[in-house]
Amino acid sequence: MSDVTPPPAAPAATPYAAAATGPKTNTLAIISLVLAFFISLGAVICGHIALGQIKKTGENGRGLAIAGLVLGYLGLVAGFIGFIAWLLFFAAIASNGGSFAP
């Protein structure tokens, strides 16, 4: 018998290499953009908080937060204008005695 040792076994190959990850995207920035299409005030609040967090932590998502803020403020302005138009419409009806006739 000789003292021949078998070659060491090769390490098991992994099917996927680990992806290099950079800074993550701020979650509130994403939420701000999504809320801009449903709840404008929530988008504005989350967008401002996200910008503050991004400045401190260096995360990605500044553009998403700004887009959420812009769309949120536009939604607030559109809602305010719509509310004023709604009030004026019903004020016109009330001043006519409740009829649509001219």
Q: CA-CA distance, 93 to 42, in Å (whole number)? A: 34
Domain for residue 18, yes or no? no
Highest mean pLDDT among 8-12, 83-87, 93-97: 83-87
Render pLDDT for 55-91 as a digit per residue (tens, 0 to 9): 999 999 999 999 999 999 999 999 999 999 999 999 9
Residue 43 near residue 33 (C-beta atoms within 8 A):
yes
Domain for residue 91, yes or no? yes
Nearest CA to 43 out of 67, 72, 1, 82 is that of: 72
Out of 18-22, 40-44, 66-70, 94-98, least confident range: 18-22
Domain region containing 62 = 27-95
Number of folded domains in the chain? 1
60: β partners: 25
